[in-house]
A = this chain, B = another copy of it.
């Protein structure tokens, strides 16, 4: 399925919406073609600038993502949005109507919006979001926005897949100690204090700035605080300007290359880890593990002993394969 031979991949790279949607679904569902698609599109990635938008629920992240997309559209840039909702399996994100909230940008052919939910398994969601971003990147988008809904570890991971990470807070987020506790301050390249027409906004800015001062300066970039009232479109241009400023900084210092290098390294290590797991956990070893549970539960054997035993069978299996090959 080399790119040149494949009509489907050509369509994805050409920005054909239906094909892009299908490619993302294939990746999301871990269909067998996923690896080939990702491998084929990889040489076409690296052009889009990736913006992560994260923060606590209700801070206005979707509105900001939405208005920011419109702003870029007015500059004639193509925008893709991935809205990730690592919510509980029993709501599936549907309760808050996430899937319909961004219809106004979705009607514009220059903006591709995709929701991804965890559907019960948090594992792999950040990986899949990052792969979906690759697809939108290869499909010719200039900007890819990765928007997350909650404040969990997977949101931190997803934001970590962005070139610039915007953390959205509201004045009521209070003393911003909570945001810090959730690890948001570390990943913030800058902070947006949304809904800043509310009382307490100036106090909120001061409070966020105080917390940011606690953060040791990294690489010479000092995260600033931008005020917005996204629902009225106020502060959107300032957010775009701050994103551009951070982008210029990253490109000027070579840090963009360095960050992307780190991400590719991580990706490679994840691929290897998946493969090691796949090779190790065959039905034989699954069966051994199952058969030993009772002993472990009655504390006659330990997880450490069972791990040893399974690891030895792994070694032996490979030796046996070698003998067969050598015969």
Contact = CB atoms under 8 A, between A and B. Distances in A.
Interface of A: 35, 38-39, 42-46, 56-58, 86-91, 95-96, 122, 149-154, 156, 177-178, 180-183, 185-186, 214-216, 257, 260-261, 264-265, 267-269, 271-273, 275-277, 280, 289, 293, 296-297, 299-300, 302-307, 310-311, 315, 318-319, 322
B302 A42 contact: yes
A182 B151 contact: yes
B186 A304 contact: no
A154 B151 CA distance: 12
Contact of A154 (B96, B153, B216): B153
A257 to B, nearest CB: 6
- Specify the main secondary structure of chain A where it touches its partner: helix
A289 B268 contact: yes
Copies in the assembly, this chain: 2
6 contacts: A42-B303, A91-B180, A91-B214, A96-B177, A265-B289, A322-B322
B307 A275 contact: yes
Nearest to A320: B322
A134 B76 CA distance: 59
A152 to B, nearest CB: 5
A67 to B, nearest CB: 22
Contacts of A297: 257, 260-261, 264
